[in-house]
A and B are shown apart, each in its own frame.
Chain A
Amino acid sequence: MPEKRINVGIIGPGNIGTDLMYKILKYSKYMNLKMIVGIYATSDGLKIADKLGVQNSSEGIDALLEDKSIKIAFDATTASAHFKNAKLLKEAGIRAIDLTPAAIGPYVCPVVDIAAHVDAPNINLMTCGAQATVPIVAAIGSVTKVPYAEIVATISSKSAGPGTRQNIDEFTQTTARALEKVGKAEKGKAIIILNPAEPPILMRNTIYTAVKEQKKDEIIAAVNKMVEKVKEYVSGYRLRVPPIFDDEKVTTMIEVEGAGEYLPKYSGNLDIETSAALAVGDLIARRMLGKEA
Chain B
Amino acid sequence: MKSNRKFVRIVDNTMRDGSHAVRHQFTVEDVTAIASALDDAGVPAIEISHGDGLAGHSFQYGFARCSDEEKITAVKKAAKKAKVSVLLLPGIGTRENLQKAVECGAQIARIATHCTEADISEQHIKLSKDMGLEVFGLLMMSHMEPPAKLLEQAKLYESYGADAVYLMDSAGAMVPDAARARVSALKNGLKIQVGFHAHNNLGLGIGNTLAAVDEGATIVDACVCGLGGGAGNAQEEVLVAALDRAGYETGIDLYKIMTVAEEVVTPRMTRPQIIDKAALALGYSGVYSSFLLHTYRAAERFKVAPLDILMELGKMRTVGGQEDLIIDVAYKLANKK
Contact = CB atoms under 8 A, between A and B. Distances in A.
A168 B60 contact: no
B60 A191 contact: yes
B94 interface: yes
Interface string B114-125: 101101101110
A238 to B, nearest CB: 14
Nearest to A198: B317
Interface string A194-230: 1111000000101010100000000000000000000
B319 interface: yes
B324 interface: yes
B152 to A, nearest CB: 13
Contacts of A195: 114, 317-319, 322
A47 interface: no
Interface SS of chain A = strand
A11 B2 CA distance: 64
Contact of A249 (B59, B328, B331): B59
Contacts of B328: 204, 206, 240-241, 253
B259 interface: no
Contacts of A171: 91
A193 B321 contact: yes
A191 B322 CA distance: 10
A131 interface: no
A7 interface: no
A157 B116 CA distance: 9
Interface string A161-184: 010011111011100000000000
Given A152-B60, A249-B59, A191 B301 contact: no
A166 B95 CA distance: 12
A208 B60 contact: yes
A166 B91 contact: no
A165 B120 contact: yes
A191 B114 contact: no
B316 A150 contact: no
A197 B324 CA distance: 17
A173 B324 CA distance: 20
A154 interface: yes
B229 interface: no
A195 B144 CA distance: 12
Interface string B54-68: 000011100000000
A191 B94 contact: no
A196 B58 contact: no
B224 to A, nearest CB: 29
A162 B60 CA distance: 26
B124 to A, nearest CB: 8
Nearest to B297: A246
A92 interface: no
B117 A196 contact: yes
Interface in A216-264: 240-241, 244, 246, 249, 251, 253
B90 A169 contact: yes
B52 to A, nearest CB: 9
Nearest to A196: B116
B246 interface: no
Contacts of B95: 169
Contact of B91 (A172, A196, A240, A251): A172
Interface residues of A, number: 32
A108 to B, nearest CB: 23
A157 B141 CA distance: 15
Contacts of A150: 58-60
A111 interface: no
Contacts of B269: none
B327 interface: yes
B191 to A, nearest CB: 24
Nearest to A206: B324
Contact of A246 (B94, B96, B124, B301): B301
Contacts of A152: 60, 322, 324
A165 B122 CA distance: 9
B90 A196 contact: no
Contact of B327 (A167, A172, A210, A241): A241
Most buried by A among B91, B95, B322, B331: B91
A192 interface: yes
A283 B59 CA distance: 37
A189 B58 contact: yes
A193 B331 contact: no
B92 interface: yes
B86 to A, nearest CB: 16
B319 A193 contact: yes
Contacts of B124: 169
A154 B326 CA distance: 13
Contacts of B317: 195, 197
A241 B328 CA distance: 7
Contacts of A157: 116-117
Contacts of A249: 59
B94 A173 contact: yes
Contact of B322 (A154, A166, A172): A154
B92 A165 contact: no
A162 B124 CA distance: 15
A253 B116 contact: no
A193 B122 contact: no
Nearest to B127: A169
19 contacts: A157-B116, A157-B117, A165-B117, A165-B119, A168-B90, A169-B124, A172-B91, A189-B58, A193-B319, A193-B322, A196-B117, A204-B325, A204-B328, A208-B58, A208-B59, A240-B328, A241-B331, A244-B331, A251-B327
Return the 5 tightest CB-CB contacts between A and B, nearest first: A206-B324, A208-B59, A169-B94, A197-B317, A192-B91
Given A168-B91, A171-B91, A241-B328, 6 more contacts: A150-B59, A154-B325, A166-B123, A172-B92, A191-B92, A196-B114
